[in-house]
Structure 1
Amino acid sequence: MRTILAQSATPTPDPGVDVDPSARITEGTEDVLRSVTEQIPQILLAIVVVVLFVLLGRLVAMLVRKALSSTTDRSESFLDVMSRLARGAVLFVGILIALVIAVPSVDLAAVIGGLGISSVAIGFAFKDILQNTLAGLLLLFRQPFEIGDQIEVAGHTGTVEAITIRETRLKTYDGQRILIPNSDVYSSSVRVQTAYDVVRSVVAVGVDYDADLERAKQVALDAVQGVEGVESDPAPQTLYTQLGTSTIDFDVRYWSSSRQADIRTVQDRVVVALTNALNEAGIAMPADVIELDARASFSDAVTRSRQDQTG
């Protein structure tokens, strides 16, 4: 009887009270380590899958570049971008497969759906970047100009060095690099100076009113035709344009290589040849005549100034 009373008097532990917190922490840690240990083979396999898809992406990029270069005459920038996109697509698929292997409980459809929803937010956050990327792809597909072309766009002139996903790189004629966002290039007017092999240049010449106009034209034409770098087809032209203050002006039109350095070099030769030829022919090229109207007030002022100096 006493034994029964003693047993009934012993307090029973309350299951809602945490008797030993350290024991529960230890037990939780052991569960986590056990779970991680069980998933190590899956994690290693996922890493191997990612590595394999990285190598596969490089192989696909190389094959895409080779296929495009053999079937099209696209620029080097186009080949670079297309090969990178192919490699990125392969790597993306590999990451999704590795995610499923490492975490089998993941719902792949939910992940893809989440990416679709988040892409809308990303699109708003990175609007300019996406706009430049799309414009870059359109420029690469349309190819309004190529690497090495000399263009003028958005107030800048220079030689195209590269067309990337984000920007178009120009090297200016004085050796500077300009990065222009593709969206600005795509939405602006572009002047492609080297779209054709030759371009026309004009040098204005003014001769004296007393000069033999036809002879002056012929002398200028003969001089230009003998200049190195001036194309014979189309042939140079000389056309009178206007009656100036002290000269009768005409344009000397000629064609030369469309490269900027060639244009400037040939222009220098043409100016020298024209000046020498006209001087040797005795054809004057007077400067503008300035007439001074000496009114009475001006004469009085000069007279007073002289009197002040002598007085």
Structure 2
Amino acid sequence: MTSISNVIENFTGFFTTETNEILTAKIWSITQFIVILFVLSLFFRVVNSIVKKITVKKCSLQIQHVINKIIRYAGFTVMVLTAFHRLGIDISAILGAAGIAGVAIGFAAQTSISNIISGLFVITERAFKINDTIEVNGTIGTVQAINLLSVILKTFDSQYVRIPNETIIKANLINYSQFPYRRVKTELSVAYGTDLRRTEQILLAVAKNNAFTLDDPAPSILWTSFSSSSIDFTLMTWTKIEDFRNLRNSLFIEIDEKLKQENIIVPFQQLDIHIKDD
């Protein structure tokens, strides 16, 4: 009986020892795993903080958000790969499978990848920023967001417009908010026989007296062409960006009233129909 008891005790002790060693090893691995994740998390937080301090004075708030997302995604990827490695999972096999999947997804998402790459160029070029008014392929609106895939505009009639970054890069882009002042061009015509010098003096006075017109640069008139039934010219006035529409609208009304008051004829196309008797 004693020998049987000793055998059972030795057998149980063996497995208990093995179990304790395995348990200790697992606890140590888990502890290492947690410490590594904590250190990596702390590292990427420090990197993110440093990048924020560098970009806060050089980049818009939207660009800072995009950079922050890139750092977060990169940190998450590194932490996941580290976790797989510590858990004994073959990373090379996963990366190989991911590479094959990436090729397949890449063919299916060429447009998205192109937009992301274009988005990086849009962000680094800084041709416009949030709240700027821009025009792309005839679409005019205020920039609401700059994302990796697209730029979001709000038009003057409150329409939501999403423009892919690839289009932004390829198209001719006009930024109406790049400079503090903007020119208002008013195209006009007068009839032949009109005193051009007098007309010029009258319209320049109208422009100068408008509350939204800047004194410098001063208003000017450019005579452009002798048309079939009129002499054409352009009145050019400068104003602040925020007063552009106010000047344009008020100037139209004031010019119309002044031309009528001074009996200056603005010609319009006429069609004469002659009925021929048989």
Q: Same fold (TM over 0.5)?
A: yes
Give the deviation of 1:167 after TM superposition. 1.0
Give the deviation of 1:172 after TM superposition. 0.8
Q: Distance in 2 between matches of 1:53 and 1:88?
A: 13
* Contact in 2 for aligned 1:64/1:86 (Cα 8 Å): no
Percent sequence identity is: 29
Q: Deviations over 1:42-90 (max 9, x none)?
A: 5687577657755664554344222321xx4212222111111112222
Q: Distance in 1 between matches of 2:183 and 2:63?
A: 31
CA 1:202–1:179 in structure 2 vs 1: closer, same or farther (change >3 Å)?
same
Note if 1:293 corresponds to 2:278.
Answer: no
Alignment partner, residue 156 of structure 1 = 139
Note if 1:207 corresponds to 2:194.
Answer: no
Q: Distance in 2 between matches of 1:276 and 1:251?
A: 18
Letter in 2 for 1:187: K
Q: Deviations over 1:235-269 (max 9, x none)?
A: 2112333334544332212222345xx32221111
Q: TM-score, normalised by structure 1?
A: 0.71
Q: How does 1:65-84 map to 2 (within 5 A)?
A: 65-69=52-56, 72-84=57-69
Alignment partner, residue 142 of structure 1 = 125
Alignment partner, residue 180 of structure 1 = 163
Q: How does 1:78-157 map to 2 (within 5 A)?
A: 78-101=63-86, 103-104=87-88, 106-157=89-140
Q: Distance in 1 between matches of 2:51 and 2:223?
A: 57
Q: TM-score, normalised by structure 2?
A: 0.79
Aligned residues: 256
Aligned-residue CA RMSD (Å): 2.9
CA 1:241–1:100 in structure 2 vs 1: closer, same or farther (change >3 Å)?
closer
Note if 1:275 corresponds to 2:242.
Answer: no
Alignment partner, residue 229 of structure 1 = 212
* Contact in 1 for aligned 2:84/2:90 (Cα 8 Å): no
Alignment partner, residue 64 of structure 1 = 51
User: Which residue of 199, 222, 226 corresponds with 1:216?
Assistant: 199
SS of the residue 2:152 aligns to: strand
Unaligned 5+ runs, structure 1? 1-33, 298-311
* Contact in 1 for aligned 2:132/2:176 (Cα 8 Å): yes
* Contact in 2 for aligned 1:167/1:179 (Cα 8 Å): yes
Q: For structure 1, which segment, 126-135 or 205-214, has the greater mean C-alpha deviation from structure 2 after superposition?
A: 205-214
